[in-house]
Amino acid sequence: MELILASGSPRRSEILNMLTLRYRVQTSQVDEGELLRQMPQATPKELVQRLSSAKSQAVANQLETGLVLGADTIVVLEEHIYGKPVDEQDLRNMMWAFSGKTHQVLTGVTLTQAVGRHSVSLTAVTDVTFRTISEEEMEWYVAHAHYSDKAGGYAIQEHAALFVEGIQGCYYNVMGLPVQETLALFQLMGTSWQAFGS
């Protein structure tokens, strides 16, 4: 059986490669904005579960066989959800909000069988604490960061590592794919992740 990653995220691919899993990428065409508009009262956990499920099922619907892994990550601070920044000012606003505080990174992961469309989902939550960021550091970050495809405007394994004072929970969740939850999905689906090992 084939494993399909329903995400074009290089970080998710990097994590699957680290686990030596065989897979191919087939991105979903899910309109995240439209799904979010349909769920105005949803909790952050409900949102990431719904988005990861929609992505996984959208790709599974195009296939006859295989297991499809979908994921979605959001950043939450004081009940406000932070997606991907639209421009440099949006990035500054996000990073100032996180400065000197602890925020949560949530990732929903869903595994869907192409045959029968059976799905299982889990969500991981990691607390990330940023130290206080100076004006000079902020301008340096805005000038150097690759932020446009990252929830919350940062990648923990890149430039933002300078600001991370500590984390509580899964580091790989902050990158976009929580390892333990992802591996547990295979067991919940009645198979083993080792079956997809290279």
Structure tokens at 81: 């959800």
Rg (CA), the chain: 17
Structure tokens at 116: 């029968």
Phi, psi of 47 (to 5 degrees): -65, -50
Catalytic residue annotation: 72
Looking at the chain, the number of H-run helices and the number of E-run strands are 7, 7
Residue with tokens 């794919």: 177
Structure tokens at 35: 């799904």
